């Protein structure tokens, strides 16, 4: 089978999102042929080049989203009229679209009827495909989407009755900013990827994210009937909300862009044959954005367990450098809430004075990560002055900041092996990769209840509320004082991780999904002979069977009781049951 793999800001580039997962998927499904269609995010990403691709990758086509190339297309009067109609409808649908997540809906209210949502979705979809057809017939839309006509269409939609309240306050700079953003997001409409020798020739489009990455898949479905599979390990709409909250933009710009991305997400979910979220947290977001539950199937990310095997297979579970050491591993940034971790460790030291804390990781890219690391080091020096056992001993701080690859921590597995308890203190988290790595290493864990933590850990670790240093400290002390309990939880965590989160289970799941989608939604291509005439009986009669096929029933696999148990909520130092 021939798969069109759609990426944005990731594979096959050396840096970017989901690069490792995509590479493992392509290499693991060597029986299939892959065409890669990649959208790049920056000039730096393109300059870094590609990773080495396996032989099953037959073609790679790329396009930039980070620069506005003047396509040089000059539309005639008829084309300009078509553009004005289609973009006007798109702008009207965006301005009329209710926010996907607003206060009333979050508290149980309903912002719009299902019929109204369907009308808005149809209006947005029809306008989107109208623009795509115009781009295919007349050339690119880069100049048109940034033109004065596009800005005027946005202004009319913002001033129309029933428009979003925040959009009514939009001024000319706001409209210019929104038009530029929409042009970047809709740049895939102007690409030449949808002909018979491009995405029109594949059997299945697999988008590795929603939003812009899935847009070429929507057009391949519209023009050639190619089914679309969407995988989201991080929901694009959620990422947009988090990014826009930190950006210095007006409320009108934020409202319009949120409505646009919400409408695009709803269209992707509506047209996809199947949607595979990476966890229940992402699944809930997709359902709130309009995804049909019958199309949702959770497929956990596959992670490499072999590099943690040596640490995890130590039967006694105590083969760590120091049983009195807590370990935190990850990227240092405000969302990880190391400030609460340090205050929590101060409480731990009151109960267990010999305990040490190792913070292993590099700061996030940009000045914010470096500033946050400096702030954490200053706080650690203030809370824990250098201590010495005697007047002739050298003072030492119980908190250390280290990076992977240094003399003390040569590898990631060594970082987890250096302590008896692994701590996760995040206030914002998607799929907790560091938590799964700790589980592969057979380590007992204490985590905050954010993102997919509860789903990942199950009943094999302790879970506390976020931003609660005292609860975090009590849970850590409880495990530090009970080595037998640590060993039991660590063994159960390793067994759970090997069952659910390996590369092998991920590849097996997608292999079955590919076969299911292609068998249920085959591409109906006209089969011709050497002379170019239609070939009678070129396709089997089954492809003409009317109606929808019966939905496939999800296979329920047995799992040990500890894997399905509720997580342990450690808010007191003496919990009786531990779920393991």
Do both 215 and 287 map to the same domain? yes
Please report the pLDDT score of residue 363 as a whole number.
95
Last residue of a domain, one of 248, 271, 295: 295
- With 0-12 / 13-18 / 19 or more C-beta atoms within 10 angstroms meaning exposed / middle / buried, residue 406 is exposed
For the chain, the domain total comes to 3
State whether 85 and 57 are in the same domain. Answer: no
User: What letter does residue 167 receive in the DSSP assignment?
Assistant: G
Measured CA distances, 523 to 205, 228, 527 (Å)? 11, 11, 12
Average per-residue pLDDT for the chain: 86
Q: From 335, 439, 343, 438, select the one nearest 383 (Cα to Cα).
A: 343
Residues 179 and 326 in one domain: no
For residue 472, being part of any structural domain is answered with yes
- Same domain as 222, residue 192: yes
Q: Does any domain span residue 148?
A: yes
Residues 258 and 184 both lie in one domain: yes
State yes or no: pLDDT of 315 exceeds 50: no
Provide the pLDDT for residue 545: 61
Position 523 scores a pLDDT of 84
Mean pLDDT of 524-540: 70
* Residue 555's pLDDT band (cuts 50, 70, 90): very low
User: Alpha-carbon distance 25 to 29, whole Å?
Assistant: 6
Instruction: Tell me the residue range of the domain where 105 lies.
Output: 77-295
Q: What's the pLDDT tens digit per position in 462-501? A: 999 999 999 999 999 999 999 999 999 999 999 999 999 9
Task: Among 38, 64, 90, give the residue marking a domain's end.
Answer: 64
For residues 318 and 267, membership in a common domain is answered with no
Residue 251 lies in a domain: yes
> By the 8 A CB rule, do 25 and 510 touch?
yes
Which CATH number characterizes residue 315's domain? Answer: 3.40.50.2000
Whether the per-residue pLDDT at 36 is higher than 90: the answer is yes
Mean pLDDT of 511-529: 84
Whether 20 and 149 map to the same domain: the answer is no
Question: Which of 3, 4, 1, 2 lies closest to 191 in space, CA to CA?
Answer: 4
**Residue that finishes a domain, picked among 18, 37, 64:** 64
Asked, for residue 402, whether it belongs to a domain, the answer is yes
191's CB contacts (< 8 A; 6+ apart) are 63, 216
Q: How confident is the model at residue 579 (pLDDT cuts 50, 70, 90)?
A: very low
Is 360 among the domain residues? Answer: yes
The answer to whether position 510 is within a domain reads: no
Lowest mean pLDDT among 6-10, 312-316, 347-351, 413-417: 312-316
Q: Token pair of 410, please?
A: 């040569």
Residue 15 lies in a domain: yes
Q: What is the mean pLDDT of residues 262-283?
A: 94
Predicted confidence (pLDDT) per residue in 225-234, tens digit = 999 999 998 8
Could you report the per-residue pLDDT of 96-108, keeping only the tens digit for each? 866 554 444 444 4
Q: What is the pLDDT of residue 102?
A: 47
pLDDT of residue 270: 95
Residues 6+ apart with CB under 8 A from 453: 424, 429, 432, 435, 447, 463
| One domain for residues 235 and 271 | yes
Q: How does pLDDT run across 153-202, given as a tens digit for each residue?
A: 999 999 999 888 889 999 999 999 999 999 999 999 999 999 888 999 99
167 and 266 share one domain: yes
Q: How far apart (Å, rounded) are the C-alpha atoms in residues 238 and 286? A: 10
Q: Are residues 81 and 186 in the same domain?
A: yes
* Highest mean pLDDT (candidates 114-128, 227-241, 277-291, 327-341): 327-341
Structure tokens at 286: 């997709």
Least confident of 230-239, 426-435, 465-474: 230-239
Contact 320, 420 (CB under 8 A): yes
Other beta carbons within 10 Å of 141: 26
Segment 515-529 mean pLDDT: 81
Q: Quick one: 150 and 283 in the same domain?
A: yes
Q: Residue 9 falls within a domain, yes or no?
A: yes
Classified as helix, coil or strand, 261 is helix
Are residues 251 and 326 both part of a single domain?
Answer: no
């Amino acid at each position: 089978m021939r798969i069109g793999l759609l990426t944005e800001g990731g594979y096959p580039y050396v840096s970017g999102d989901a690069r490792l997962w995509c590479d493992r998927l392509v290499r693991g499904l060597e029986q299939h042929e892959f065409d890669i269609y990649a959208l790049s995010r920056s000039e730096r990403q393109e300059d870094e080049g590609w990773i080495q691709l396996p032989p099953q990758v037959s073609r790679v086509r790329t396009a930039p989203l980070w620069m506005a190339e003047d396509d040089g297309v000059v539309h005639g009067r008829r084309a300009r009229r078509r553009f004005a109609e289609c973009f006007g409808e798109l702008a009207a649908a965006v301005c009329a679209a209710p926010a996907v997540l607003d206060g009333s809906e979050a508290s149980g209210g309903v912002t719009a009827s299902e019929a109204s949502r369907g009308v808005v979705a149809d209006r947005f979809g029809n306008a989107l495909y109208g623009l795509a057809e115009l781009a295919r017939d007349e050339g690119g839309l880069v100049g048109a989407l940034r033109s004065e006509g596009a800005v005027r269409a946005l202004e009319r939609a913002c001033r129309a009755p029933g428009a979003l309240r925040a959009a009514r306050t939009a001024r000319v700079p706001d409209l210019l900013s929104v038009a530029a953003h929409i042009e970047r997001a809709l740049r895939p409409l102007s690409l030449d990827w949808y002909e018979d020798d491009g995405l029109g020739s594949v059997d299945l489009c697999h988008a590795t994210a929603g939003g812009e990455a899935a847009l070429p898949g929507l057009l391949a479905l519209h023009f050639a009937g190619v089914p679309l599979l969407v995988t989201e390990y991080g929901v694009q709409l959620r990422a947009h909300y988090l990014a826009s909250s930190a950006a210095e933009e007006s409320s009108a710009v934020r409202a319009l862009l949120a409505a646009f991305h919400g409408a695009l997400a709803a269209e992707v979910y509506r047209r996809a044959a199947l949607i595979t979220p990476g966890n229940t947290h992402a699944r809930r977001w997709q359902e709130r954005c309009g995804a049909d539950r019958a199309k949702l199937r959770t497929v956990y990310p596959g992670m490499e367990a072999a590099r943690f095997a040596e640490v995890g297979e130590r039967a006694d579970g105590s083969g760590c450098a120091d049983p009195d050491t807590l370990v935190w591993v990850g990227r240092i940034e405000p969302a990880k809430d190391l400030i609460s971790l340090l205050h929590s460790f101060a409480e731990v030291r009151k109960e267990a004075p010999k305990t040490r804390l190792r913070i292993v990781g590099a700061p996030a890219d940009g000045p914010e990560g470096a500033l946050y690391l400096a702030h954490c080091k200053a706080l650690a020096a203030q809370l824990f002055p250098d201590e010495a056992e005697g007047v002739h001993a050298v003072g030492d701080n119980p908190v250390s900041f280290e990076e992977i690859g240094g003399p003390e921590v040569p590898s990631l597995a060594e970082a987890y092996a250096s302590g008896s308890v692994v701590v996760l203190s995040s206030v914002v988290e998607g799929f907790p990769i560091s938590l799964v790595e700790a589980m592969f290493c057979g380590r007992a864990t204490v985590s905050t209840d954010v993102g997919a933590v509860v789903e990942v850990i199950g009943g094999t670790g302790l879970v506390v509320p976020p931003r609660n240093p005292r609860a975090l400290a009590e849970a850590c002390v409880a495990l530090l004082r009970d080595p037998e309990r640590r060993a039991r939880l660590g063994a159960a965590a390793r067994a759970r991780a090997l069952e659910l989160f390996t590369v092998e289970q991920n590849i097996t799941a997608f292999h079955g999904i590919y076969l299911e989608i292609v068998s249920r939604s085959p591409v109906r291509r006209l089969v011709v002979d050497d002379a170019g005439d239609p070939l009678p009986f070129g396709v089997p009669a089954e492809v003409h069977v009317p109606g929808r096929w019966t939905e496939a029933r999800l296979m329920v696999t047995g799992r040990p009781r500890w894997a399905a148990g509720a997580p342990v909520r450690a808010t007191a130092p003496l919990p009786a049951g531990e779920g393991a």
